[in-house]
């Protein structure tokens, strides 16, 4: 769904009143795949919850908002396996885990942003980083248009860092 000359005010945490020429909401994998050609040919902005973003002027490039929601939970004898889509609110996900007796995320509550942003920054607080809980990350390769999976050991997690912060994903 695309809106023209829409307000950015509710889409970033500082709430400054600027507009974008177009705002589109991405809710399915195919919505994201439509970005592939665009990513190679033009600039655009992809937002999750808009935390740590400040719009100081009107935006003349397309703005896309991640609204890809969904969670699944599988219990094994020795683990919980949670699959969560990138548009989910991070703090609400932490609360959901605790409501399902999945412990360990307590220190990561109240961190702003979306689940999709969490491995990019390797978010952390009070000695706990999200990499501790990640088995693998599925992402869209903007060059091929394919969804690909990186195992944790290929994500190059470091202090507030990962392979996803690099301008070009290079997997060794």
Q: Name 164's Cβ contacts closer than 8 Å, sequence gap at least 6.
A: 119, 120, 137, 139, 155
pTM of the model: 0.89
* pLDDT tens per residue, range 60-81: 999 999 999 999 999 999 999 9
Domain 2-66 fold is 3.30.43
Phi-psi region for residue 98, left (φ > 0), alpha (ψ -120 to 50) or beta? alpha
- Tell me which of 4, 67, 132, 160 is the catalytic residue: 160
- 67 is an active site residue: no
Per-residue pLDDT of the chain (172 residues; tens, 9 = 90+): 444 558 999 998 888 999 998 899 999 999 999 888 777 788 889 999 998 889 999 999 999 999 999 999 999 999 999 999 999 999 999 999 999 999 999 999 999 999 999 999 999 999 999 999 999 999 998 888 899 999 999 999 999 999 998 755 444 3
- In 67-116 the beta strands, taken as DSSP E runs, fall at 71-75, 80-84
Task: Please tell us whether the domain made up of 71-165 is placed in CATH 3.60.10.10.
Answer: no
Parse the chain into domains and list their residue ranges.
2-66, 71-165
């Amino acid at each position: 769904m695309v809106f023209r000359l829409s307000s950015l005010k509710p889409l970033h945490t500082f709430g400054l009143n600027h507009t974008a020429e177009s705002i589109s909401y991405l809710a399915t994998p195919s919505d994201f795949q439509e970005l592939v050609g665009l990513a190679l040919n033009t600039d655009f902005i992809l937002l999750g919850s808009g935390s740590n973003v400040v719009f100081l002027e009107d935006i003349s490039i397309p703005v896309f908002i991640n609204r890809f929601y969904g969670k699944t939970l599988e219990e094994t004898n020795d683990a919980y396996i949670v699959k969560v889509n990138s548009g989910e609110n991070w703090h609400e996900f932490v609360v959901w885990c605790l409501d399902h007796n999945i412990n360990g995320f307590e220190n990561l509550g109240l961190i702003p942003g979306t689940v999709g942003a969490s491995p990019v920054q390797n978010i952390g607080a009070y000695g706990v980083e999200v990499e501790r809980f990640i088995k693998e990350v599925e992402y869209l390769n903007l060059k091929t248009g394919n969804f690909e999976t990186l195992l944790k050991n290929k994500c190059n997690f470091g202090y507030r860092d990962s392979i996803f912060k690099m301008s070009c994903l290079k997997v060794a």
